[in-house]
Structure 1
Amino acid sequence: MDRIKALRIIENRAAPNCRRVRIFLAEKGIEIPYDQIDIMAGDHFKTEYREKVGTYRVPVLELSDGSFLTESIAICRFFEMENPEIPLFGRTQLEVSLVEMWQRRMEFELLWPIAFVLRHGNPKMTVLEDQCEAWSVANRPRVLVGLETLNKQLTHNQFIVGPNFSVADITAIVAVNFLRTIRVEIPEHLEFLLNWKATVSQRSSIGA
C-alpha cells in the first residue's frame, strides 16, 4: 500500500487554529502548499466546500488518497508521526500525558474563552456566529482566570510542560497573541507569563 502523503492545507491566515498548524510545521521544518479561503466572506459555509471536506471549519489537510483531515491538533499529529525527530507531543509517557492535558487546558481555559468574547461580542463577527452578547460578557473574566492559571504553571517551568517546547506552548502563544482582538493585555503582575511570552516570541516559527 502506498504511503499516504500530505498534499496541501486549506486555511485562513487570520484564524488562530490555522496559525497553530503553521507554527507546528515551522517548528518541524516542514513545507507544504497553503490555499487561502475567505472565512469573513463565508467561503467555508458554501455547499461545495462542506461537501468536499466534510465540515465548515479550517484548517483542512488534503491527503493523497483523496481524503481530508480536519481539526488542527489532528493535523499536527499526522505530521508528528511522519516527522518524530523533533517531538512536540512529548518524549516520555508522563510528558506525553502532561502535554495532552495542558494543550487541552489551554484550549478550554484560554483560547476558547477569548474566541467566545470576540465572536459573540464583536458586531463584525455576525457573519460567523449567531451572537449571544451575554456569552461574550460571561467569558471575559474566564480569560483572566486562564492567564492566571498559565502564569502559575510557568512559575517553575521554562515552558508549559518543563524544559521542552511543545504543542501546549503553541496553543498558549496563539491564544495569548489573540488577546489583542478583544483588547486585553496581560496584567503586569503575571511576570512568569510575560517572561515566557517574550522567550517564545523569539522563536522563528512564531512568525509563520
Structure 2
Amino acid sequence: MKLYDAAWAPSPRRVRMYLAEKAIQVERVPIDLAAGEHLGDAYRALVPRGVVPALELDDGEVIVESAAICRFFEALHPDPPLFGVRPVEIARIESWTRRIEAEGYAAAAYALRNGVPAFAGRGLPGHWPEVSQIPALVDRARVMWAGFAEALDQQLAQNEWVAGDRYSFADITALATIDFARRARLTLPEGAEHIARWYGIVAARPSAEA
C-alpha cells in the first residue's frame, strides 16, 4: 500500500495522527501542494479529483477521504479502538466527528479559501475550473466558528474527551481542525477553558507530531 500525503494539509495530518496512535507503518508518497503536484497529470491519473490524502491498495484500488482511509485501517487493526466499541460509543464518535467536519473544519476552509489572497481562483479544493473567492463566506465562517467553539467547550466541560471518556477519532479530528483554523485566522474565544484543558493534553500526545 501507498499513502499519498502532504506535510501541512489538515486532512493528511488526520490520517498520520491516526496511524501513529495505532503504530501502523505505511509507505508514504509526499505530494507537493505548493507546487501544484496534486493537480498535475500524473497524480490526477491516480486521483482524478486531485485531493490528498489517498491510499493506493496493493490491487490498485484507491481510497480517498481521510475518514474513509482511517476506517479501512480500523477494520484491519481494531485495537486500540478509535471509532468506538459499544453501539452508543460508535454513534457518539461518529456524531461528533461529523459535527466537527461540518461546522469547525468547514468554517476554517471557508475562511482560508475565501479570505487568503494565495487562494484566489481556488475557492474549492482539488481539481475544478477556476472558482472565485466569495468574501461574504469569510463572515459566515466566523459565525460558524464561534458557534462551533462554544458547543465544543460545553461538551468538554462535561467530558474528558470530545466523544466521552475515551480518546477517539473525534479528538484527532478536533485537534487537526483547531490547528488548521489558526492558519485561516480563526482563533478560539477567550474563556474557552475546557477546550484549553483538553488541547493541552491532546497536543502533548506523540501522535500530534505526526
* TM-score over 0.5 (shorter chain): yes
Contact kept? 1:42, 1:127, Cα under 8 Å: no
Matched ranges for 1:25-44 at <5 A: 25-44=19-38
Q: Select the residue among 4, 8, 14 that pairs with 1:14.
A: 8
Amino acid at match of 1:206: A
1:73 to 2:73 alignment: no
- For 1:140 and 1:52, the matched residues in 2 are separated by 35
Alignment of 1:122-141 (within 5 A): 122-126=116-120, 128-129=122-123, 130=131, 131-141=133-143
Contact 2:111 2:184 in 1 (8 A): yes
Q: TM-score, normalised by structure 1?
A: 0.93
* Structure 1: runs of 5+ lacking an equivalent: 1-6
Instruction: Tell me the alpha carbon deviations over residues 19-43 of structure 1, each in whole angstroms, 9 at most, x when there is no partner.
Output: 0000000000011121111223222
What's the counterpart of residue 174 of structure 1? 176
Give 1:146's aligned amino acid: F
Where do 1:124-203 residues align within 5 Å?
Answer: 124-126=118-120, 128-129=122-123, 130=131, 131-203=133-205
Q: Tell me the equivalent position of 1:100.
A: 94
1:89-117 deviation digits (Å, cap 9, x = unpaired): 01100000111110000001101111110
**Contact (CA 8 Å) 1:117, 1:135: kept in 2 or not?**
yes
Sequence identity of aligned pairs in percent?
39
Contact 2:37–2:43 (8 Å) recurs in 1? yes
Matches of 2:188 and 2:7 in 1, distance apart? Answer: 24
AA in 2 matched with 1:83: H
Give the Cα separation in 2 of the matches to 1:58 and 1:113.
19
**Structure with greater helix percent:** 1
Contact kept in structure 2, 1:11 and 1:58, CA below 8 Å: yes
Counting matched residue pairs gives 202
Runs of 4+ in 1 over 3 A off after TM superposition: none
Task: Please give the alpha-carbon distance, in whole angstroms, between the structure 1 residues aligned to 2:101 and 2:72.
Answer: 19
TM-score (norm 2): 0.92
**Alpha-carbon distance, 1:50 to partner:** 1.9
Alpha-carbon displacement from aligned partner over 1:129-164 (angstroms, at most 9, x marks no partner):
321111122211211111111001111100011111
Instruction: Determine helix, strand or coil for the equivalent of 1:160.
Output: coil
Q: How much has 1:127 moved relative to structure 2?
A: 6.0
Residue 87 of structure 1, CA deviation: 0.5
The range that moved more, 83-92 or 125-134, is 125-134
Compute the RMSD of aligned alpha carbons: 1.3
Any unmatched runs of 5+ in structure 2? 124-130
